[in-house]
Structure 1
Amino acid sequence: MPDNKFKKTMENPVKITEILRNQNFLKLWIGQIVSALGDRFHQMALLGLIMKKGGNVGEELSKITFWSVLPFFLFSLISGVLSDRWSRKSILIGSDIARALLVCAIPWVIGSPGSINAAYPFIFTIGIFTCLFSPAKFSIIPDLVKNRQLLVANSLIASSALLSVLAGTAAGGIIFDSLGFKASMFLNAFAYLFSAGTIWKLRTKETIHTKIKSIVDVFADIREGMKYIFHEARVIILISFGAIFWFIAIGFYVIISDFAGKVWGFTALTPLGLIFTLLGGGLLGGSLLAGKYGNRMQRNTLYTGSIWMLAFGIIAFSSFQSYTVALCIIFFIGIAGGAFLTPINADIQEIAPDGLRGRSFACKDIFMNAAMVAPILIVGKLTTFIAIRKLMLYLGVGVFLAGIFVAWKSIGLNAIREHAMKDT
């Protein structure tokens, strides 16, 4: 009976150690930690190169972001098809090797003058392989763990990625300052190759699908994927939740970066860095908490509770002048954000059939990247004519209103809890 199974799940929740004893998942997890660290090395190296040359940092970073994100809009639907038709393991290995070679080429194409413009085609091409890598990575996880372990497995993937961002950003700056641009890029290449090596050692059975014979098959698969996604309301809901989160997250990032100077009067990066470190720590904690306790509650309780906690945290942040109080609130905001974000990938994995999983995650990538770009354009403009504390307050109120939508739509996700109890 479902209720008895749920009671048993509450009494015997999935432990992190249980997941880490799974050698296949452990290899993927370690590889992604190293790969995420490497990503930060080359990003910090590019930032350091721009700052060293005295260029317009904001403008150049916008260009790098544009060329990195553009492939997701152009090729995500195709990458989803390939993830569902080809061996996901082979896609992951090939993408990592290709990115390693491209990263190694960047110092050579830039040359000694250090003009960043020559690197844009390579940044764009790296983005293509990242676009190919992303749906394959999330689609292969259900092949490595049991259904009831998906939430914890995804919380480990998400939390380790966040931890790698924090550690990699700090380490990337040190490496660039002490070893230089080339060393940073070569270390990133090594990280990609290390990831490829760990994935190569995975032992998993993949479903063999019909080979793609022509471009007609690709478009037919795209049409099939879109038909499934738009008829499976739960996948649409989860994709919309992901887009909501990233719009909020990037909007908050833009506002708080301006908040530090206009409200606290900071001119140095260190106090703002502490804010982002605590935010990342909260995201890490929230992700782990959702992984450990998420299957003990209904999905609408988890999603609605966490987004309203996020809303109240942002509203409280806008209400206090004290930097010390802000440090406490920012950690709370991070916990709420991590708890909201973590179940989304696990729930898509539960719902989408194996043959359509790649296309589901590819569609999610499109909306996620659109949601990340939009607030940079919208919120950035609003900061010029709305007082920054008011803008932070408006964001908090907007998140609360979004929470009403989440509360309404997440009711349809409650059946996922029962499915997560099964070990099939």
Structure 2
Amino acid sequence: MLQPAPYAADPTKTRGRLHLQPESPGRSAFQRDRDRIIHSSAFRRMKHKTQVFVSVDGDHYRTRLTHSLEVAQIARSIARRLGLDEDLTEALALAHDLGHTAFGHAGEEALSAKMAPWGGFDHNANTIRIVTYLEHRYVPFDGLNLTWETLEGLAKHNGPVSSPPWALAEYVAQHDLELHTFASLEAQVAALSDDIAYNTHDVDDGLRAGLFTIDDLMVVPLVAETWERLRRQYPQAPKERLRPELIRNMVGHLVLDLLGETGRRLERLQPLSADDIRRAGQPVAAFSSAVQPLERELKHFLRTRMYHHYKVQHSTDLAKGVIGDLFDLYLDDPLRMPPEWSSRAAAAAMPDRVRTVADFIAGMTDNFALKELARLTGRQPIEI
């Protein structure tokens, strides 16, 4: 095993947890965080939450859970090569999508629109709300009581946060996560591993769904270069056998580029601690200037040919209606929610009452949301 780099997060020097606890024998503080995330209810619910395709569309498409597992695998591999703390990196990768609603970004857009008068809804901030407040697995405290480093990474893995959403602002008022700085290199690696995973695996799911073909993808240089190399290497192989090779090779290409560019930035910066990474003034983990435009072109193709495809758009439009209707129904009569939620809403003043409704809806899986709408209205806009 490689020696930890001087700029890696050190679990023996963690800034600790909001609620004091003795650490677990035989596990580092970051291993304990990862284990708490895996055993949480929110983590289990991701198996029936949309990544791109509504989860009832088929068994082979990615869900939030399988996507998060793939992100964790990529992130941990990169962390090992860079000498980072693999357990913190894995914890952040596994937890980064906990705050997503049912039906993916469509659900988030619908809930954010309904919540606009009360501060809106943001899935990253909702992840913090889940792990610090909404999970009820321990007697002494709400949430999972994760370390400062894990919470910091979840809050600002995409960079400093100058205008935190209400859910994040509410938490940092009692536990400063230093939102004005960059996050640890472990968090930066987890964030870019997310990009690598969804860019490449959405190509795989889009091909499987028939939204576009290999020939259509030849306008994307990153795909075209990889495909032509594979065709020369395996001239007799049918396209269907080459598709997994295409995805695997694209992942490998992006990982190696990220390692190379991050290594160059580390060489220039010469950081001696994790705090040197936080104070660097720019991201340290990054793709090279040669690959950045290639990655943007791939994202543009997926946005136009997959996320905005009429088949995907039709199901997401229906999904927005499900979330919006449930919000109106529960806000009109909180007793329509289960007792543990309706009693919490009844005891709360505004805006906490409406935020309780949003908490309940944000935690739903695709299937549960559809069943709830059918129970309350008899309507089932998407077949389960």
Is TM-score (shorter-chain normalized) higher than 0.5? no
Q: TM-score, normalised by structure 1?
A: 0.27
Q: Which one scores higher on RCO, CA 8 angstroms, separation ≥ 6?
A: 1
Normalized per residue, the structure richer in helix is 1
Q: TM-score, normalised by structure 2?
A: 0.29
